[in-house]
Amino acid sequence: MTEITAETPENTFVPGGRRRHRKPRQNGPGTGLRRAFVLTLTVPVASAALAGPSAFAAGKGVGTTARPDYLDDGDQQMAASLETRVLDQRLGPDVSGVVLDADSDTVIWGHNAFAALMPASNAKVATSIAALTVLGPHHRFTTKVVYGSGTLTLVGGGDRTLTTADLAELAKTAAAGLKAARLATVKVAVDDSLFPEPTLAHGWNDGYYPDTVAPVRALAVDGHGVHDTSIDAGQVFARQLAAGGVTVSGDVTRRAASPSDVPVARHTSAPLSDIVHTMLKHSDNNIAETLLRMTALGARRLATFEGGTEVVRRVLSRVYGVSLDKFELYDGSGLSRADRIPTATLAQILELLTQPRYAHTLGSIRDGLPVSGEAGSTLGPEYGRFDDAGSTCAVGKVHAKTGTLTGAIALSGLTQGKDGRWKVFSFVENGSTADPNAIKDAMDGLAATVNGCNP
């Protein structure tokens, strides 16, 4: 297998200025993008046609933005307000931000835009883009039951949305097959060999698991926060079998399914687009980590953290032309304290969501971004978002991914400005000692400023 060696595109970002932003060559939506990505892994090409120059240059010492004359009055006012509000003591001294005008290809404002900061859950957007590009929005994950040597084996297929109701249907089908074969007793095993170890990522704190994130396995049910989600799912399946009149012998064990095993039942998940939508609305760490592994498999890599993050980098750089300067990713959820993504890069990633040619493939990301004041999402009132004097005016107007770790809070997304044009923004702070809720209020105020309702 021959692999091309495309370098990260040359950067051309000038804070507060226009961007010489030649978009990556247009690939057809959906399948075309996936085919283009596979080609970068498998065949040589005459030129690095899939990687367009980045919108951003990694200029060192980039600080506060000068406001050029060609910005209209509204953008001038926005930039001036952000200039002041980014110095809010609640945000601390280590804060970064950038605002782009998606329509005019203009950088409106930037502050330490190339600082390498922990992105927290903003990293989930990068994971989502890679998953949808490699696997496709219509991809579904399959969980199977096979029979051999007196054992029903539940085979994990990377579906982190599997429920007890789904396992009940699998058990019902399996029980009918056993009864037809005049088998009244069976052993139950699980096969989660699709994902090799390690199950924990570099940079995860011991306190994260199993509640914030479970050790990553190919089989889980109901989002249970347990150390061994595969055995847990097997036990739920065994109980459903018993409820259907099948006697289950012994404890649930691990067993690699054999090619000679007889297929008994299968369950397919909702489309990947729906799963991504759910993952982003609720910032589900477990779904994000499973998607990272499945994306690696889809790109013919090992289903490990390293395999998945390698694919994320290749998709962003080679398919979409995103700059990877100072980009470090060790997991799919953004929980790793070793992750680093500049706001300049986060904004460039989110800008892809404003381009119609990518709507078919990436549309579920844009739709899945929490909306300011949206109950049930991470920007809902239950999280105290967009509920103070500086941000209530933006309720329903900001579409953004949240990010929260100890010592890192982020908010990156899209909103229509005063001029009706789509603005892309990214704000990240690391190390503030203020109360996290106060930091989030300050972040919400920045987003409302971009919207133009908080001048």
Average pLDDT score over the chain? 87
- Give me the mean pLDDT over the 74-96 stretch: 96
Q: Residue 329: which pLDDT band, with cuts at 50, 70 and 90?
A: very high
What pLDDT is recorded for position 39? Answer: 32
| pLDDT tens digits, 168-219 | 999 999 999 999 999 999 999 999 999 999 999 999 999 999 999 999 999 9
In terms of DSSP bridges, do strands 95-101 and 106-111 run parallel, antiparallel, or are they unpaired? antiparallel
Q: Residue 70: which pLDDT band, with cuts at 50, 70 and 90?
A: low
pLDDT more than 90, % of the chain: 82
Q: Indicate the helix (H) or strand (E) that contains 403.
A: strand 398-405
| pLDDT tens digits, 133-182 | 999 999 999 999 999 999 999 999 999 999 999 999 999 999 999 999 99
Q: In sequence order, what are the beta bridge partners of 425?
A: 99, 413
Please state the pTM of the whole predicted model: 0.87
Residue 65 near residue 109 (C-beta atoms within 8 A): yes
Residue 110 near residue 65 (C-beta atoms within 8 A): yes
Q: Residue 105: which pLDDT band, with cuts at 50, 70 and 90?
A: confident
- The DSSP output letter for 328 is B
The pLDDT of residue 33 is above 50: no
Phi, psi values for residue 253, rounded to 5°: -125, 175
- Token pair belonging to 288: 């994000």
> Which of 360, 307, 363, 366 has the alpha carbon at shortest distance from 331?
307
Which listed CATH number (1.10.3720.10, 3.10.20.580, 3.90.550.10, 3.50.80.20) goes with 142-269?
A: 3.50.80.20
CA 234, CA 220: separation in Å to the nearest integer?
Answer: 9
The pLDDT of residue 331 is above 50: yes
- Token pair belonging to 101: 């005008």
Mutual orientation of helices 229-243 and 164-180 as an angle, nearest 10°?
Answer: 50
The pLDDT of residue 26 is above 70: no
- Give me the mean pLDDT over the 6-10 stretch: 34
pLDDT more than 70, % of the chain: 85
Residue 216 near residue 195 (C-beta atoms within 8 A): yes
- Give me the mean pLDDT over the 398-410 stretch: 98
Label residues 2-41 b or e (16+ Cβ within 10 Å = b).
Answer: eebebebbebbbbbbbebebeebeebebbeebbebbebbb
The pLDDT of residue 429 is above 50: yes
- Token pair belonging to 141: 């994950």
Q: Residue 1: which pLDDT band, with cuts at 50, 70 and 90?
A: very low
> Which of 427, 414, 444 has the alpha carbon at shortest distance from 280?
414
- ω into residue 263 within 30 of 0, thus cis? no
Residue with tokens 């914030």: 212
- Give me the mean pLDDT over the 313-331 stretch: 97
- Give me the mean pLDDT over the 381-394 stretch: 96
- Token pair belonging to 290: 């499973």
| pLDDT tens digits, 226-263 | 999 999 999 999 999 999 999 999 999 999 999 999 99
Q: In sequence order, what are the beta bridge partners of 146?
A: 153, 263
- Give me the mean pLDDT over the 21-40 stretch: 39
Which residue ranges make up each domain of the chain?
Answer: 31-135+275-422+429-451, 142-269
- Give me the mean pLDDT over the 333-350 stretch: 98
Q: Residue 324: which pLDDT band, with cuts at 50, 70 and 90?
A: very high
CA 280, CA 381: separation in Å to the nearest integer?
Answer: 17
Q: Residue 423: which pLDDT band, with cuts at 50, 70 and 90?
A: very high
What pLDDT is recorded for position 68? Answer: 55
What pLDDT is recorded for position 57? Answer: 39
Residue with tokens 């309720």: 395
Instruction: Give the ranges where 263-383 is alpha helix by DSSP (H).
Output: 272-282, 285-298, 305-314, 343-351, 359-368
- Which residues in 47-116 belong to E strands, given as ranges? 95-101, 106-111
CATH fold of the domain at 31-135+275-422+429-451: Beta-lactamase (3.40.710)
